[in-house]
Amino acid sequence: MEEILFGIGISALAGALATVAGAAEDTESDIGSQGDPNSQVQLAPQMGYIHRIYNKAVSGEPPAYGLWVALAAGIAWALMAIQYNAILALIIGSAVAVFVQGVYATTAYLGRTASLAKFEQPVYIDILKSVTSVTMAHAFVAIFTTVTMCFLIIEALGHPFPLPLMGIVWGIALGAAGSATGNPFYGKERQYQKYDFGAGLPISASGDIVRYAEAGQRSSLDNGWFTSKGAGPASGICFGLIVFFELWRTILFEPFAAGWGAVIAGAVIIIIFMVIDRFVETWARKTYGPYTEETAAEEEATA
Amino acid sequence: MSVKIEASEGGMDHNVMLGIGVVGALVCIYLVYLNTLMSTEVFAFFGGLAAIIVLWWGTDSIKNLCSYGLGTGVPSAGMIALGSGVVAMLFATKLAGISPLLVPIGCVVVAAILGAILGFISDKVLNMNIPVMTRMIAELTVVGSLTMLGFTAMVAGTFSFGDLITGATSVFGVEIASYASSVIGGCVLATIFMLGAIAIQHPFNACLGPNESWDRTQMCAIECGALSMIGVAVMSIAFLSIPAVVISFAISIILWGWSYSELIKLSKRDAYDWLDAQPIREVGGEQ
């Protein structure tokens, strides 16, 4: 019984770390315009919209976070192998990984922007200096919490994987959770404020991103200000729930049916979530779907 | 059939790059073998140099493959290169049982065969119909396997399977052989895999656009390779002596610093303008 209580406690702690990681990860990627929003930021100068928004094309988020977390985990593992203090090892690993992340971010911005010279998009080096440091700070939070979570899962729950392998698995999961949950908030609601909610993206509006903020010109830091309210916490809850349910079902149901109990519990959790997702989706479509009302209004106007 | 779009004009001929890549990497990996011959560990950094040379060549392969309208396929190309390369690399390290000198050559041969099969399946069976597909996937598999082999040799100071699965752990000051603290048992390979996979796809992915230029993309490849080398040098602290780690680390830092400053110079050359804290320019006048 005590063992189970200990396990549930560690699961809760790992889930909390994962929640922080998810929130930081999504905010980092939205400030850098990585993943989903990047294509429109890249397209904007070609459509005549010169902008001051960061253009961070470092792979997709899942592989990129796979690297940052796996690198932090690999270095932490190596330092622990020479009997280094575990906490210090995790911090040094995360610091080196963040250095690599920052370098990749700057080369991506410089590379993509310099390749757009034909469309008269200049390189704004003040953006490079101010935004890169902010994405690095968010990335450090995301990487450190995820690596610490992996360390807890191995040391406290006795997971058989070595730290670097756990790092790559959970790093990719973190990137995927942020990319799938966080980006829709940023992609449509912040990048295209002048278009109606739910209107989709007409081809004629491609690249017509919002370039001026409430006070002056928009930089990617404004995107961070916005996405840290909605998209970041949503990604955090998403990743936190993934980690919590994953650990919780293993700890509680592993003893049943020679390990198959955990597998069955996992399948049941997925089915329950599928039902909830379907309900939320149909409810949202019914409540917010704009198209039927708009056509009705147009018909009235023409009649 | 897909239409080819020229990514960038000029630059070195791809076949010449292939030659430099394969020969250069093999020479560097064989130089790591000096460690065994001279009972030292200080030559481990040659593995990292081998990885930089193949990444330099592999960037051009990805550019060739992805000039057929595979914009979003650039990161995937990097992943398939390393994913298939790791199979060939692990197989080749087993050849050390026959003779350690067979490993680098065996790695190239096995990867080329494996890559050709994978490329043929993608091109003909999955019907992607890209003329250079079979050749470029084969090249990328060789690139991936040599990158893995180079970085593995750098982190462990050796490239034979037997040494990669035995590590030493210290319990109360007594050295005990342990699988869990080896390169493969500790899964340091997982980190090396990601370091290689992102480094190979990043240069072209980051520099693509109408004004992409050959020398800037290739300089970015060297920079990414050197950056990965820094991470590998830090991890080698678990396996190598301190002088070997310091040498690896110093060489990585110097190479990275030089290539990064060169890359910034080239970006400055190619950029439309280089502005500090200036307002948005409106193309065609104020709106």
pLDDT at residue B262, as a whole number: 96
Give the pLDDT score at A151: 96
Phi/psi of residue B274, nearest 5 degrees: -130, 95
Q: What is the pLDDT of residue B285?
A: 47
Neighboring chain A residues of B285 at a CB cutoff of 8 Å: none
> Quick one: pLDDT at residue B32?
93
- pLDDT-derived band at B230 (thresholds 50, 70, 90) equals very high
C-alpha A219/C-alpha A196 separation (Å) is 22
Whole-number pLDDT of residue B6: 52
Does the distance separating the beta carbons of A168 and B194 come in below 8 Å? Answer: yes
Nearest alpha carbon to residue B29 among B3, B57, B51: B51
- 10-residue averages of pLDDT along chain A (303 residues): 85 94 93 82 89 88 94 96 93 96 95 92 92 95 96 91 95 92 71 69 79 82 85 93 89 84 91 94 81 53 55
A78 and B273 within 8 Å at the Cβ level: the answer is no
Q: How confident is the model at residue B222 (pLDDT cuts 50, 70, 90)?
A: very high
Query: What pTM was estimated for this model as a whole?
Result: 0.91
Residue B210 predicted with pLDDT over 80: yes
Kindly report the nearest CA distance between residue A64 and chain B, in angstroms. 7
Name A245's Cβ contacts closer than 8 Å, sequence gap at least 6. A269
Long-range pairs for B244-252: beta carbons < 8 A, 24 or more residues apart: B244/B40, B244/B41, B244/B42, B244/B44, B244/B45, B244/B157, B247/B42, B247/B44, B247/B45, B248/B44, B248/B45, B248/B48, B248/B154, B251/B45, B251/B48, B251/B49, B252/B45, B252/B48, B252/B226
pLDDT at A252: 85
Select from B198, B220, B273 the Cβ nearest to the Cβ of A64.
B198
Mapping DSSP onto H, E and C, the string for chain B reads: CCCCCCCCCCCCCHHHHHHHHHHHHHHHHHHHCHHHHHCCCHHHHHHHHHHHHHHHHHHHHHHHHHCCCCCCHHHHHHHHHHHHHHHHHHHHHHHHHCCCCHHHHHHHHHHHHHHHHHHHHHHHHCCCCCCCHHHHHHHHHHHHHHHHHHHHHHHHCCCCHHHHCCEEEEECCEEEEEHHHCCCCCCHHHHHHHHHHHHHHHHHHHHCCCCCCHHHHHHHHHHHHHHHHHHHHHHHHHCCCHHHHHHHHHHHHHHHHHHHHHHHHHHHHHCCCEECCCCCCCCCCCC
Residue A300 is predicted with a pLDDT of 56
Out of A42, A71, A120, whose CB is closest to B191? A71
Instruction: Name every chain B residue with its beta carbon within 8 A of the beta carbon of A63.
Output: 75, 79, 194, 197-198
Residue B22: pLDDT above 80? Answer: yes
What are B156-195's pLDDT values in tens digits?
988 888 888 887 766 666 777 788 888 898 899 999 999 9
Shortest Cα–Cα distance, A94 to chain B (Å)? 11
pLDDT at B287 over 70: no
* Closest residue in A to B268 (Cα–Cα): A114
Residue from B80, B191, B255, B286 to probe the interface with A (highest A Cβ count within 10 Å): B191
Confidence of residue B11 (pLDDT cuts 50, 70, 90): confident
ipTM above 0.85, yes or no: yes
Tell me what percent of the residues of chain B surpass a pLDDT of 70.
92
> Considering chain B, what is the average pLDDT of its residues?
88
B113-146 pLDDT, tens digit per residue, is: 999 999 899 888 888 778 888 899 999 999 999 9
Comparing alpha-carbon positions, the chain A residue that sits nearest to B8 is A115
What are the pLDDT digits (tens) for B26-66?
999 999 999 888 888 899 999 999 999 999 999 999 888 88
Write the residue in B207, B234, B235 that is nearest to A111 by C-beta.
B207
Q: How confident is the model at residue B3 (pLDDT cuts 50, 70, 90)?
A: very low
pLDDT value, residue B286: 47
Task: For residue B17, give both structure tokens.
Answer: 């790059």
Q: Which two tokens stand for residue B171?
A: 């319990």
Q: Which residues of A touch B219 (CB under 8 A)?
A: none
- Model pLDDT, residue B15: 92
